[in-house]
A and B are shown apart, each in its own frame.
Chain A
Amino acid sequence: MIECEDLSKKYNGDFWAVDGVSLNVQPGQILALLGQNGAGKTTTVRMLTALLNPTRGWARVAGYDVMKNPHEIRANVGVLTEQHGLYMRMTGEEYLDFFGKVYGLDAEKRKKRNTYLLDYFGLAEAARRRSGEYSKGMKQKLALARALIHDPSVLLLDEPTSAMDPESAQLVRNEIARLRSSKRTVIICTHNLAEAEALADTIAIIYRGKILLNGSLDELKRQVLGPVEYEAQFSEPFDAGELSLPEGVEVASRSATSLRFRVEAPLAVNPKIVHELTSRRAPLVSFQEVSRKLEQVYLKTMADAQGVPYAA
């Protein structure tokens, strides 16, 4: 579990790298922390791993206070750092074994975990090669295996799938999903919005050290982009101008062969709209929710924060 309140970090006397961040991630939940480079993601993660002392606020990770129990936090948290941080002259096997010892695992457990992780990430064949000879993706997988070596209850992952090929990235996403199902608490910092959308239960967007948005994807979409949009498509031009739409429906756009509208309460209203269309013999081909991506939410939020118009 990760909890923090008003977590803040000031550098060089006057620069707030993180300013008043409050988060709550429960076991079995994944939080995606999104933001530009330099927004404060890494500093936040470093405070949560007790590497940096907060200037203000508090945080508890895996049940321990970051200021009072840094050693316990480090022992219970798995961290994938921004850079893979591999020792290039060590083999993959040696590297995992070294960190297994660092985390105090006995020989039997180390062997078991090493074998499992090397097998899972497809590194078993390369286990006896020096990591300096690995491809970028292999290095990233080995670094992730290091973060998982002690089977931590909390994971803080910075760009977990960067530099990976699609198959490897999928493998990593599956592993993260498995961690969620085994009640681990996970924070991922990423620029890969599709990945965040696919994995995260909650999403926080950080800008210049402050959290601008924090919530589930649906909540963020509603909050930033407004009510859900639906689209009716027609097989031939249809004049929808005379439709009597129920109250609370706002037409977003229309063309000869389509009609888009926003609905606050789709469960109650959509059947009425479909009824109206069919009763007016509209050549209806499809009626579906318009897909809205996290990318739109993110870009709109950033545009608003920077005071520039959002180009949809």
Chain B
Amino acid sequence: MRRNWDAIWLVARREFLDQLRDWRIVVPMALLVSVFPFIADDTTRQAVSFMNRFGGDLILDNLIPFVILVIGFFPLSFTLVVALEAFVGEKERGTIEPLLSSPLEDRHMYLGKLLVGITTPLVFSFLSIGIYLILVSRRDVAFPSAYMLTLILLLTFAHAVLMVSSAIVISVQATTIRSANLMASFVVVPVAFLLQGETILIFWGNEDVLWFAIVGVTLLSGLLVRLGLAHFKREYLLGREIDTLNFKSMYTVFRDRFVGAAGSFWDWYRVELPATLGQLKQSLVIVVVLGLITVFASYAWVVINVPAYIELSPDRMDEFRSMVGDNLVNLDQLQNQLPAPLLFFYNARTTIVFLLMGLVSFGTLGLTLFLVNFALIGGVLGAANLVGFSPLLTFVVGVLPHGLFELTAVILATAAMLKVGALLVSPNTDKSIGETLLLSLADWSRVFVGLVIPLLAVAAAIEVYLTPVLIKMAFPFL
């Protein structure tokens, strides 16, 4: 442990000294850190005054946490260049080979660079925030609570780890500083969006919700660090000089994996697809167990908590029942309003969205979306219970007939998506990130084409033509 830390610190210390001796890093950052809080302070007061002149009802106190978050974010985005060139910069300057030829282990180099990449921007961020807080303390406004400040500082720390861990992954994979810097937007822009989301949480006023953001961002950062370490390859840093997109080779890798050794369509279904499904066992168990827990938790939450918010008097229950009855009348028209092909398209698109969200978050966001859908099922069944319908009957006639196919398809697609994320963060120094991604996408496509699409097609037909009839039959009194 001590030996590992010494080696990590050795790499980090050298880089710290290097940065401190580079006026091109120190001077602009010192200027930014000292000037930006004044600009932010003045701009915020001007903005509030301007809005209030036109009938707005803005109070400066409410804006302060948001401004702190922004002030913390700016130095992070500017100093990201340090992390972006952590490895590719050394490669371009020719200093990487002596380091790679040394007995330092991969993780020592990687974590040493990560430590510097995180610490430098954080120091600047916290300094900038400190100056702003001094300014705030001299104004006639409410100083943010210690709890809120702690949350914002933790969030800034989580942003730093997220941005730097992404930047280091880019730095290992890029072949030139220029290409790494071009990729900076792919780090800064998503975190800027994230910042907007967190701002909404702050304005919403529930400070505790920020914990979800902190945990989520930290989890994602952890996965990114794991991805970087899993695919860190000395050979990759030295072996490749030019970035070329070889579409033909990419297509060949994807096709070979997708088709496998199958000689015919039947062979593919009989041998290749079951082989892929066999690799999904673990992901399937996780997805099914989490899905079931979510359905039951959501059902229980609705049944226990909703009565506290909505009065369920006999009159109100009748009102709800007649509202449901009206909707069931509309169900007869479902095939006109939502034809089966369109429903199929929507469902297929949703599974692709799961994949895309999963790709940018190593499966976590895709899995979250899946769980939200399952929470809706639990919620609907809970609501049915509250208005006096049998939840079991509602499930059997309203969800199960098409759900048997649709839920199976969604579970399979989510498990395959989760596997893509898991493979990306699994140690595999034999393959590059690109190769791993292509191969895992081919596996996902096998499941999608071979099972998900046919199942969703059947589910759409049942949902449009059969489910409304069954609901009508089960609840004739409506």
Contact = CB atoms under 8 A, between A and B. Distances in A.
Contacts of A90: 14, 17-18
A75 B101 CA distance: 9
Interface in B1-34: 10, 14, 17-18, 21-22
A85 B105 contact: no
A11 B105 contact: no
B102 A99 contact: yes
A52 B429 CA distance: 12
Interface string B97-108: 111111111000
A99 B99 CA distance: 9
B237 to A, nearest CB: 9
A146 interface: yes
A89 B17 contact: yes
Interface string A89-106: 110000000110111100
B235 A51 contact: yes
Given A13-B249, A84-B94, A89-B22, A51 B102 contact: no
B233 to A, nearest CB: 9
A104 B22 contact: no
A83 B95 CA distance: 8
Contact of A103 (B17, B21, B102): B102
A79 interface: yes
Contacts of B99: 85, 102
A49 interface: yes
Contact of B95 (A49, A74, A87): A87
A20 B429 CA distance: 24
Contacts of A11: 239
B396 interface: no
Given A51-B234, A52-B235, A74-B102, A83 B97 contact: yes
Interface in B246-261: 249
Given A13-B249, A51-B235, A89-B21, A81 B102 contact: no
B183 interface: no
B103 A75 contact: yes
B18 A89 contact: yes
Interface string B290-301: 000000000000
Interface string A62-91: 000000000100110101011111110110
Q: Secondary structure at chain B's binding surface: helix, strand, loop or mixed?
A: helix
A90 to B, nearest CB: 7
B100 A51 contact: yes
B377 interface: no
A46 interface: yes
B238 A86 contact: no
B290 to A, nearest CB: 39
A102 B234 CA distance: 17
A161 interface: no
Given A84-B94, A85-B96, A86-B95, A98 B101 contact: no
A223 to B, nearest CB: 34
Interface in B354-401: none
Contacts of B238: 46, 51-52
A101 B381 CA distance: 65
- Band of interface residues on A: 20 to 34
Contacts of B101: 49, 51, 74, 77, 79, 81
Contacts of A52: 234-235, 238-239
A140 interface: no
Interface string B227-242: 0000000110011000
B369 to A, nearest CB: 38
Nearest to B105: A71
A53 interface: yes
A186 to B, nearest CB: 16
Given A52-B239, A75-B103, A101-B10, A87 B18 contact: yes
Contacts of A75: 103
A169 B156 CA distance: 54
Given A87-B18, A89-B18, A98-B10, A103 B103 contact: yes
Contacts of B14: 87, 90, 98
A4 B249 CA distance: 32
A220 B17 CA distance: 51
B322 to A, nearest CB: 69
Contacts of A53: 235
Q: Which of B95, B98, B104 has the most CB of A within 10 A?
A: B98
Contact of B102 (A13, A87, A102): A102
Given A71-B105, A74-B103, A85 B98 contact: yes
A302 B200 CA distance: 71
Nearest to B249: A13
Nearest to A101: B10
Contacts of B18: 87, 89-90
A102 B104 contact: yes
B112 to A, nearest CB: 11
B95 A71 contact: no
B17 A102 contact: no
Contacts of B234: 51-52
Contacts of B103: 71, 74-75, 102-104
A72 to B, nearest CB: 8
Among all A-B residue pairs, the 6 with the closest Cβ atoms: A83-B94, A75-B103, A79-B101, A81-B97, A85-B98, A89-B21
21 contacts: A13-B249, A51-B97, A51-B100, A51-B101, A51-B234, A52-B235, A81-B94, A81-B97, A82-B94, A82-B97, A85-B95, A85-B96, A85-B97, A86-B95, A87-B18, A87-B95, A89-B21, A89-B22, A98-B14, A103-B102, A103-B103
Given A85-B98, A85-B99, 5 more contacts: A13-B249, A49-B101, A74-B102, A82-B94, A104-B103
